[in-house]
Structure formats: C-alpha cells, structure tokens
C-alpha cells in the first residue's frame, strides 16, 4: 500500500513545491527610481507573488548573472537603455518569450523575441536661449555644423546614451556619414565630455556651452523640481524635438526580459505582462516622467504634456542595437571620449 502511495505523495509534493515557487520572483534591476516601489507592491497585492529585488548597475548585474550561470536565482532582468538590453541579449541572458499580451500591447519596434520595452524617453536637443534659436539646431545632424564650434557640451562618448544615439545615426545614414558627423561633434566641443545629462542642462543654462543633448525625463525633472534654482535654470533653456522633417526624434527605453535560467517561469511571465498593463504604464509616466510604451495608455503628467507631441523615430530598436559595436569603434576613431 505504501509503495502505491509513494508516487502519489511525490506528485503532490512536487505540485506543492511548484506552487510555492510561483509565489516568488527574483528581480535583478538596474532601475533605481523610488516610484517603482509602488509598482512592485501592487504586483504583489494583485498576484500574491513576492518580489526579491537585487539592484545594481546594468553591466554589474549582467556580469553577475553570467557568473552565476545555471545556478542564477534571477528570474527577470530590467534595465534602462536599449544598449544594455542588447548586451544582455548578446550574452544569452534572456529567454525567448511568447505572450499574446506583450505582443499586442508593446509596438513591434519596441521589442524583440527576448526583451520588451515598458517605457520610453526622448533624446532632445537643448539650447541656451541667449545664444541660439530653435531653428539653429533642428536636427541631430545640425549639432556638427561648424557654426557651433566651441558650443557643444556632452557626456563622455562611451556613455550608453551616446552609444545608442550614434548607433541610430549609423542605422539611418550609414557608417561613413555618421563618422563625419561625429568628427564634427568633437570639433564643436566646448569642453572635454564629462558628467551626465543634468550636468549638460546646467552647462547650457549657465552659458558654459550653447547646445547639448539630454534625455527628456531629466528635463522634466528639473521643470518640476522643488528647487527654485532648477526651475529658474530651465527658463534659460530652449528645447527642440530633433528631425521632425525626416525620420523623427530618437527614443530610448526602459525594458527587460525573462532570464533563461529562471526557476519561476510563470511568475516571470506574469510580471512582464503586468509591466505592460495600464496601471503599470501609468506608474512609469507619473512616477518617473517617462512615456508609456503602450500607445493606448493616456497619462495625466502636466510636465510631460508641457513638452508637447512629436514625431517618433520608429526604427526597430533591435536594428539600432546591431550597430552598437560599430558605434563604439567609430567613437574611438574620432577621439570622442
């Protein structure tokens, strides 16, 4: 009798363990925004799945997952910038995901077979209102115009945001034209590249330089800042949606995918699908001033609305990502460091 019961007991035990496993999700995250706390809490309330979160820089987490190998506890990896998603994908970290929910809600140019974008941010041109007008810098290509010599401020050339922008130029214009453009940027530098996007905004506002490029959510953050000095700085800065007469403004993303060694596949899929829900999409927009990746979601973010509408570059991000190695080599050749 006992022998006959053993297989049944083993099956019940296995089912119990599987059910327990589905109540946990190990999330490796390179997003460090306080607003995401509510996002994760609501997922747990809705599903009963507890999130264990490991945070770090994207390259650190990618390396960690690689080193952990088949024993990695990671179920989902999320990060910012298409370049980081592409690197993770190139190292074979993500598993292919088939989901009718994700495929119907996330536009094709914002996803691949293994990763999905959940929010977007635009790469805008900013200019000092005392030095220039919007028509002086209507496009990314205009930043290389000799008339801007000594006026361009930038983050380091190898910064992930720059890499993706250069990769997008290669995708649109080819490597030769993009290299000539990058040489023009170097010739127009007001100082050695340094700092992040907020530093570039402040440098333009102060007059240290005349033009720069910044991710949109840094601009919105300063527009809505509790610090009066930040809001005053923004009054000195003009904003341009680049390339509205051609391919549109380059966008970047925050996104993620399922880790191929996940032990909680169902929980991982539920979490990724949750990130595409209306509720989660609004958290991205209202909590961190990013646009929803799902085009049907409308948000009430006054600062984002103040930026206005614009033509988006809909080149598939995975096509841009393929140009990242060429972009890095190009930047090295022209001395953009």
Question: 251: pLDDT confidence band, cut at 50, 70 and 90?
Answer: very high
Q: What number does CATH give the domain 25-120+251-305?
A: 3.40.190.10
Task: Give residue 12's pLDDT.
Answer: 44
Task: Give residue 138's pLDDT.
Answer: 98
- Residue 78 exposed, middle or buried by CB count within 10 Å (0-12, 13-18, 19+): buried
Tokens of 303: 């600062």
Q: Could you tell me which residue, 25 or 7, shows the higher pLDDT?
A: 25
Task: Give residue 41's pLDDT.
Answer: 95
Supply angle C-alpha 81, 85, 86, rounded to 5: 110
Q: Cβ atoms within 10 A of the Cβ of 25, count?
A: 25
Q: Model confidence over 265-308: pLDDT tens digits?
A: 999 999 999 999 999 999 988 888 999 999 999 887 888 888 98
Q: What number does CATH give the domain 122-250+316-334?
A: 3.40.190.10
- Check if 25-120+251-305 and 122-250+316-334 are the same fold: yes
Q: Are 324 and 171 in contact (CB under 8 A)?
A: no
> Does the pLDDT at position 330 exceed 90?
yes
Q: Model confidence over 222-237: pLDDT tens digits?
A: 999 999 999 999 999 9
What percentage of residues in the chain have a pLDDT greater than 70? 93
Give 195's Cβ-side CA count (13 Å radius): 15
Lowest mean pLDDT among 19-23, 73-77, 89-93, 260-264: 19-23
Q: Model confidence over 31-82: pLDDT tens digits?
A: 988 778 989 999 999 999 999 999 999 999 999 999 999 999 999 999 999 9
Q: Which residues contact 148 (CB under 8 A, 6 or more apart)?
A: 136, 137, 142, 188, 210, 211
Q: Where are the domains of the chain?
A: 25-120+251-305, 122-250+316-334
């Amino acid at each position: 009798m006992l022998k006959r019961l053993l297989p049944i007991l083993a099956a019940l035990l296995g089912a119990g363990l599987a059910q327990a496993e589905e109540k946990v999700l190990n999330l490796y995250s390179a997003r460090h925004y306080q607003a995401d706390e509510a996002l994760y809490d609501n997922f747990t309330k809705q599903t009963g799945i507890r999130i264990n979160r490991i945070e770090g820089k994207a390259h650190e987490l990618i390396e960690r997952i690689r080193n952990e190998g088949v024993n990695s506890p990671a179920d989902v990896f999320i990060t910012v910038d298409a370049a980081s998603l592409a690197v993770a994908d190139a190292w074979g970290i993500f598993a292919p995901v088939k989901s009718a929910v994700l495929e119907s809600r996330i536009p094709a140019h914002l996803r691949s077979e293994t990763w999905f974008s959940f929010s977007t941010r635009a790469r805008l041109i900013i200019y000092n209102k005392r030095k220039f007008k919007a028509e002086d810098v209507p496009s990314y290509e205009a930043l290389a115009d000799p008339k801007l010599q000594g006026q361009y401020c930038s983050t380091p050339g190898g910064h992930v945001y720059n890499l993706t922008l250069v990769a997008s130029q290669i995708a649109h214009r080819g490597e030769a034209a993009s290299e000539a453009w990058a040489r023009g940027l170097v010739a127009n530098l007001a100082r050695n590249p340094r700092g992040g996007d907020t530093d570039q905004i402040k440098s333009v506002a102060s007059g240290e330089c005349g033009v720069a490029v910044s991710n949109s959510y840094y601009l919105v953050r300063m527009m809505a800042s509790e610090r009066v000095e930040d809001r005053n700085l923004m009054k000195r800065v003009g904003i341009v949606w680049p390339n509205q007469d051609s391919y549109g403004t380059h966008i970047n993303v925050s996104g993620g995918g399922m880790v191929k060694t996940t032990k909680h596949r169902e929980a991982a899929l539920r979490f990724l699908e949750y990130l595409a829900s209306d509720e989660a999409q609004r958290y991205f927009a209202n909590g961190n001033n990013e646009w929803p990746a799902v085009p049907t979601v409308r948000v009430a973010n006054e600062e984002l609305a103040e930026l206005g509408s614009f033509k988006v570059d809909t080149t598939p991000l995975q096509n841009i990502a393929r140009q990242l190695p060429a972009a890095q080599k190009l930047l090295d050749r022209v001395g953009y460091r």
